Structure 1
């Protein structure tokens, strides 16, 4: 995904899907959001919290900005409203990052040390930005499954159905 327009489209898609999912989840009670439903991170709330954590880790690596991070599996926000506000802030940061990207930066490499295994790695920036969006989509898919199991239809989730999509904005 080295096309700058593709990355900007994914940033818009990320915000669109998060706004939709958080609106649906806001209608659930805290007990329903936090019930262990057998997902990888257990609950809807924990999965949403994990997506935010992953975004913070990668955006910190990409931009050098310091975000609050915790070990994987540790909750960032117990309060749903605080989680939702932090999600909206991150989505704005991701959009700004995507709009400011250059082909030169994407063609470069990024070296980091993983907080999971302590191993330093170097990978192409374009690959890591692709991973950022792939990670979000993967775990949002888990959330839409959990919502569907509760009888809540998340509606269309495919990129071409994104409301308000305008290639002029890319």
Structure 2
């Protein structure tokens, strides 16, 4: 208000008495209102700019974190095939000297793939012996069981995987039911 008094005194000193049409006091109050409106618009624009910048930074971080999702999903089939190949070799063939080198190579490839997954945040979903979690497991069959609690996973048909905190693929499981 001190500024208003100073302006009013200056106007009176300059010979404005406020009796004319469009009095300086009225003009001044209109300018103050307009200035306040402009100030509010600037504050809103600054806040919106800040929000857009923050949202873009978050989207950029998310995109960088999960950029490999499609590639990781594709690599899961490679991991599945390596695991099936190793599981298909009978014990008597594992002792054969001619096949040992081949099996050693397949096992080394599987371990290296596990290592690459771990470095990139791809982890296997725990299933056997756990309670069914529909966010991580997909129940395919119910298996009668007297040993396991109903709703407990007793068989894993296909491993599930996570990329950091996102599900890449649910584990396909068999769940115990009362026998």
- Whether TM-score is above 0.5 comes out as no
Q: TM-score, normalised by structure 2?
A: 0.27
**Larger fraction in strand:** 2
Q: TM-score, normalised by structure 1?
A: 0.28
**Larger fraction in helix:** 1
Structure with greater contact order relative to length (CA < 8 Å, sep ≥ 6): 1
